[in-house]
Structure 1
């Protein structure tokens, strides 16, 4: 075997090594992407669950949330402020999930249920009355999306009536 043949063999084996390395890297990137997606979804779901747990654990807070949003009950100034803080907290979770979907770290199908739940909350009578304050804090990317979701909810609700 001539020196030139050994050089060619070395080039060939080096090429195979590069191909194997690229395949390995592609598999690692795919695995990392799946891990990031799972962690993002888990973070959004855990945040939402903690919020619901907080409402369930505090009867006064639960009353403010449900009475203030859906039952049309008059709230004291302090209760109205607490409801507004809860709505700010909820809209942040909705916005976070939206941005995760938009960047592809959460799949569209995975957030459909949460999106419906948040739309229901922010389309409620109690939230609509506070929307002018809430909307001023939202990102330019999320605001039109949220307002369109609320508008569609009301349009569908009107058609069902």
Structure 2
């Protein structure tokens, strides 16, 4: 009977060690998944910015659209629309990753500041009123409930004017 207690005790310790090892593996897998998402997020950001840097006119157009959508001609609205959709889809993805607690809080806060800053520009608001139905309701509600910052995120034109 003593052997039976010893064997059961060893089996119990084995089960406990297996559960601890499994928990450790799950934690490592979660960290790896988050690292992959952060890398993907960074690549998406860099790809969006790369196209604006490599095509100066595209960058200038986005600045114009952000400031005043309604004054753009049809071709500029078409191109700006695609840029805004690309940017807002990226932000929508980040919003959902934040809701799932995948995004680090500090990383979310930093991106949120940029998102809200650009969202509250006049031109972006003009575009948003016409295109917001293309996005998920909870993402729309989230953006629309944000307060306009006291100091709106400056465009490059804003920075240039202030420095003169």
* TM-score, with structure 2 as normaliser: 0.85
Distance 2:115 2:47 in 1: 15
Q: Which runs of 5+ in 1 are unaligned?
A: none
Stretch of structure 1 that moved more, 47-56 or 113-122: 113-122
Q: 1:40 aligns with which of 31, 37, 40?
A: 37
Aligned length, in residue pairs = 152
Instruction: Tell me by how many angstroms 1:68 deviates.
Output: 2.1
- Equivalence for 1:121: 118
Offset from partner CA, 1:32-78 (integer Å, 9 cap, x none): 11111222222122211110111111112111111221377932210
SS of equivalent to 1:136 = helix
Query: Structure 1 residue 153 and structure 2 residue 148: aligned?
Result: yes
Q: Which runs of 5+ in 2 are unaligned?
A: 153-164
Larger radius of gyration: 1
- Equivalence for 2:140: 143
Distance 1:72 1:102 in 2: 30
Query: Structure 1 residue 104 and structure 2 residue 66: aligned?
Result: no
- Give the ranges of 4+ consecutive aligned residues of structure 1 lying more than 6 Å apart after TM superposition: none
SS of equivalent to 1:104 = coil
